[in-house]
């Protein structure tokens, strides 16, 4: 499918472009981009782009596609459909599958299954064998087969000696290690953030120090081992933001991400006992949201990643303490980020592009996306002015576990273009 977007705003910070242009996508490439009139061939659909903005394709560096092992929740194909529906042309999938991604066979299975799809699927491999936190996985071999990052996400590598060995093992190839920061001794069987509210509700709390203690330890180990590359996943507390801010002054190889739900929702929603508000790390307090937004503004937080975590309705529709952690997020990520960050004046759209497209690829060592003639068309087309209501009937994910149903958002994904494929969003 070939499309000419007339009078579309093209916003590409890496190309110093933020202007209204005519953009012709043909045969998977940016065939022509110009302020002048373009006369397309008869095989090209013409779309009035006066209300649209073309961005370098969005990238989410923290998603769970549940394949292999839990395909009833999500699989590679439904995950990609969900990602493309939300505007993402690239994703990094986490290793807590069954079997987990801790060997080259599973890496190759995923890479083979995800070929030639509209969304590029990259692999994060387990940091330890079977994600047990005991023995380092064969990171060098998995790197040779395409793994970009190593983490036991969903679990924390609590043992300091194991974490130190991981940094040493990663050093020769400068591999990227990431961590789900959670001291499990402080959080065992938690339900929500530890606070006065958790006491009132009678729910087991997760104290903020459980995240911050592991984060601080890992940063110290990274520095001790030679300022190794380290990425903190789904940062959720004010203390974590401050720890990372200070760490970056000494170690430029520290990076981190946060999620849309951690700057959009507080623990106050837990009074409803709705299991779609149960996640790991849990929703925190307004002071944490304020700190996260400040961290996004000043560059402490590098990326926004939704931690897309599908679960079936049967799993979530149980007593609160028995429900699994996690929510889906690919199809609401841009809308939540634009609504709560750009529309409120905290970030510019340029800033958001860095957090949701440029920085994730940079952290993972992937090629930059440029919007210029003869380049591959890797684009997310959005309407930043339109308001829309979240309706899970329009989602492509197999799962529906979101707390954002019926929420009004501003900023909507309209088209996703990549790998010579074009999809119109159903949101």
Average pLDDT score over the chain = 97
pLDDT in tens, 157-215: 999 999 999 999 999 999 999 999 999 999 999 999 999 999 999 999 999 999 999 99
| Mean per-residue pLDDT, 351-365 | 98
* CA nearest to 257, candidates 363, 350, 182, 174: 363
Q: Domain ranges in the chain?
A: 2-54+372-424, 57-364
103-153 confidence digits (pLDDT tens): 999 999 999 999 999 999 999 999 999 999 999 999 999 999 999 999 999
**Sign of the dihedral through C-alpha 368, 372, 377, 380:** positive
**Res. 220: pLDDT tops 90:** yes
CATH entry 3.40.50.1820 includes domain 57-364: no
Per-residue pLDDT, averaged over 97-106, amounts to: 96
pLDDT digits (tens, 9 = 90+) for 227-277: 999 999 999 999 999 999 999 999 999 999 999 999 999 999 999 999 999
Separation in Å, CA 194 to CA 11, 14, 204, 208, 271: 42, 42, 7, 7, 14
pLDDT score recorded for residue 206 = 98
State whether residue 169 is helix, strand or coil: helix
What average pLDDT does this structure show over 49-68? Answer: 98
Is the domain 2-54+372-424 a CATH 2.30.40.10 member? yes
Given a contact cutoff of 8 angstroms between Cβ atoms, the answer to whether 165 and 136 are in contact is yes
pLDDT in tens, 284-336: 999 999 999 999 999 999 999 999 999 999 999 999 999 999 999 999 999 99
pLDDT tens for 15-26 read 999 999 999 999
At residue 1, the pLDDT reads 84
How large is the angle between the packed helices 208-224 and 238-248, nearest 10 degrees?
10
- Residue 274 is predicted with a pLDDT of 98
Given the structure tokens 């080259």, which residue do they identify?
104
Q: What are the catalytic residues?
A: 307
């Amino acid at each position: 499918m070939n499309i000419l977007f007339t009078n579309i705003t093209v916003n590409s910070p890496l190309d110093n472009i933020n202007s209204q242009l005519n953009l012709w996508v043909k045969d998977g490439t940016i065939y022509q981009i110009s302020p002048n009139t373009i006369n397309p061939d008869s095989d090209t659909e013409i779309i009035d782009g006066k209300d649209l903005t073309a961005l370098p394709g969005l990238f989410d560096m923290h998603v769970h596609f549940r394949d292999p092992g839990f395909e009833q929740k999500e699989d590679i194909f439904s995950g990609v459909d969900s990602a493309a529906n939300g505007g993402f042309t690239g994703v990094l999938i986490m290793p807590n599958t069954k079997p987990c991604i801790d060997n080259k066979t599973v890496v190759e299975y995923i890479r083979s299954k995800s070929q030639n799809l509209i969304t590029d699927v990259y692999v994060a491999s387990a940091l330890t064998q079977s994600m047990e936190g005991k023995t380092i996985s064969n990171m060098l071999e998995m790197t040779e087969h395409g793994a970009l990052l190593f983490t036991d996400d969903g679990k924390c590598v609590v043992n300091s000696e194991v974490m130190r060995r991981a940094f040493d093992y990663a050093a020769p190839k400068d591999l990227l290690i990431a961590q789900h920061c959670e001291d499990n001794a402080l959080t065992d069987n938690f339900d929500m953030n530890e606070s006065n509210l958790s006491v009132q509700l009678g729910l087991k709390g997760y104290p903020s120090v459980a995240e911050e203690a592991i984060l601080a330890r890992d940063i110290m180990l990274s520095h001790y081992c030679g300022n190794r590359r380290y990425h903190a996943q789904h940062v959720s507390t004010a203390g974590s933001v401050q720890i990372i801010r200070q760490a970056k002054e000494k170690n430029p190889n520290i990076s981190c991400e946060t999620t849309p739900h951690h700057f959009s929702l507080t623990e106050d929603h837990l009074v409803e006992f709705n299991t779609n508000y149960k996640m790991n790390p849990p929703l925190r307090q307004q002071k944490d949201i304020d700190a996260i937004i400040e961290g996004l503004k000043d560059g402490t937080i590098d990326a926004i990643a939704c931690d897309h975590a599908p679960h079936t309705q049967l799993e979530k529709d149980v007593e609160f303490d028995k429900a699994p952690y996690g929510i889906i997020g690919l199809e609401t990520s841009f809308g939540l980020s634009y609504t709560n960050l750009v529309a409120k004046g905290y970030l510019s759209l340029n800033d958001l592009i860095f957090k949701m497209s440029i920085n994730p690829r940079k952290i993972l060592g992937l090629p930059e996306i440029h919007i210029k003639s003869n380049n591959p068309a890797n684009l997310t087309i959005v309407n930043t002015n339109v308001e829309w209501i979240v309706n899970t009937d329009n989602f492509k994910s197999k799962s529906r576990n979101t707390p954002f149903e019926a929420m009004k958002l501003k900023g909507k994904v309209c088209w996703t273009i990549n790998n010579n494929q074009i999809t119109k969003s159903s949101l």
